[in-house]
Amino acid sequence: MNLLELTWPAVKALDPNTPVVFPVAALEQHGGHMPLFTDSLLLGEVVRRVAERQPYQNRVLFAPLQWLGNSDHHLDFAGTLSAPPRVYLDLLTGLLDNFIMHGFHRLIFINGHGGNDVPGKQVVFEARQKYRQRDDLMLLFATYWNLGGQPNAANSSLIQTQMGHACEWETSMMLRIQPQLVVGDLTKLESIPFGNAFEPASRGWITRERTTPGHIGDPRTASAEKGETLFTVFADDFARMLDRVLAWDGRSWNG
């Protein structure tokens, strides 16, 4: 079900246990070869592939994709639009509050931008504290490439083993859905290593200290065929997460 297409009485009449999905992404620089709307386009495709599957068509409510993300670390690159971190916390908290007020219990953020990960987890943590008298809420935040799938096991031609930025993975997915938006000769790009920034400590960072062109990873060997593998793996992962949300008994810690 698409929230955009429903009337308010139709939403009011839904089973309050209907999972509500909020896709969240970004509009930010993606190197010299990829469009600013990359994260939103890619997450939109993952969600589209899952939303159209028969088991979810009438059992899951999908809100429209929130394209404004927390992208302050990319602001040295022109065109980036960002909700500052604390604004972003309030933005996502508002979405949860709205749908808790509307009576729903199972609220899931599906995320397509790395910069949303820390504030997104903080949002579901804080909301759980705020609604601590309730014992019927499930508040989840999930990033689509971190749901357990192993793209490299599905397609051995993939080089990267983790998500970068405007990298082999993202460039391949864009070549799969909107190849006309990938510009220039990919083979002339440089591979930007992920590096080791004092790991396992978590270092505060801005993008320009890690990359000059804006991408991180190796987009040189991206292909539409790799992109199809990635979309298949990530959509299946997200569908499995929705299956678990649908199967939740409404009370348990385990799911």
Interacting residues with Zn ion (CB under 5 A): 39
CB of 48 to Zn ion, least distance (A): 17
When the beta carbons of 39 and 237 are compared against Zn ion, the nearer one is 39
CB of 25 to Zn ion, least distance (A): 8
Residues 108, 140: contact at Cβ < 8 Å? yes
C-beta nearest to Zn ion: residue: 39
Query: What are the Cα distances from residue 124, in Å, to 117, 130, 131, 172, 221?
Result: 11, 10, 11, 31, 37
CB of 112 to Zn ion, least distance (A): 7
- State how far the Cα of 164 lies from the Cα of 143, in Å rounded to an integer: 13
**Cα–chain center distance at 233:** 14
Region of residue 38 (left: phi > 0; alpha: psi -120 to 50; beta: else): alpha
Q: How many CB atoms lie within 10 A of CB 199?
A: 9
Spell out a b/e string for 43-79, using b for 16 or more CB atoms within 10 Å of the CB, else e. bbbbbebbbeeeebeeebbbbebbbbbbbbbbbebee
Closest Cα to residue 112, out of 57, 53, 181, 37? 37
When the beta carbons of 39 and 138 are compared against Zn ion, the nearer one is 39
When the beta carbons of 100 and 167 are compared against Zn ion, the nearer one is 167
CB of 28 to Zn ion, least distance (A): 7
When the beta carbons of 1 and 166 are compared against Zn ion, the nearer one is 166
Query: What are the Cα distances from residue 72, in Å, to 30, 192, 219?
Result: 14, 21, 23
CB of 4 to Zn ion, least distance (A): 24
When the beta carbons of 107 and 235 are compared against Zn ion, the nearer one is 235
When the beta carbons of 127 and 167 are compared against Zn ion, the nearer one is 167
CB of 198 to Zn ion, least distance (A): 23
